[in-house]
Amino acid sequence: MLLQIVQVLLNIVWWIIVIQAVLSWLIQFNVINTHSDFVRAVWNALYRITEPLYRPFRRILPDFGALDLSPLVVLLILYILQNIVIPRIAIMIAGAAF
C-alpha cells in the first residue's frame, strides 16, 4: 500500500516536470507569455515545486548556458526509482511475508 502511494507521488512529480518543460518551451518560443496572470501563476507554482529537486543537481552539473540538464537528471532518477528500486523493494517485502 505504501509503495503504491510512493509510486503515485513519483508519477505526479514526473508529470509536473514534463509540464514545466513544455511550458518553458512555449514561453521561450513566445507561444504564450508570462504577462497573463494565469500563466505566471502556473509558472511560479511549478518553479516552487521543482526548484528544490533541481538545485542539488545544478550545483553538480557544469553550466551549459541556456541548456539546463537538471530536469533530465531528475527524470532519470525518478525512472530508476519507479522501475527498479520500488519493484525490488516490493519483491523483498512479498518474499519476507511468506
- Cβ atoms within 10 Å, residue 17: 21
Q: How much is the CA Rg of the chain, to the nearest whole Å? A: 17
- With the CA atoms of 51, 11, 87 and 2 taken in that order, what torsion angle do they form, in degrees rounded to the nearest 10? 90
Asked if residue 7 lies in contact with residue 86, where contact means CB atoms within 8 angstroms, the answer is yes
**pLDDT tens digits for the chain (98 residues)?**
899 999 999 999 999 999 999 999 999 899 998 899 999 999 999 999 999 999 999 999 998 888 899 999 999 999 999 999 999 999 999 888 77
Among the residues of the chain, which ranges form H helices?
2-28, 37-60, 70-80, 86-97
What's the one-letter identity of residue 34? T
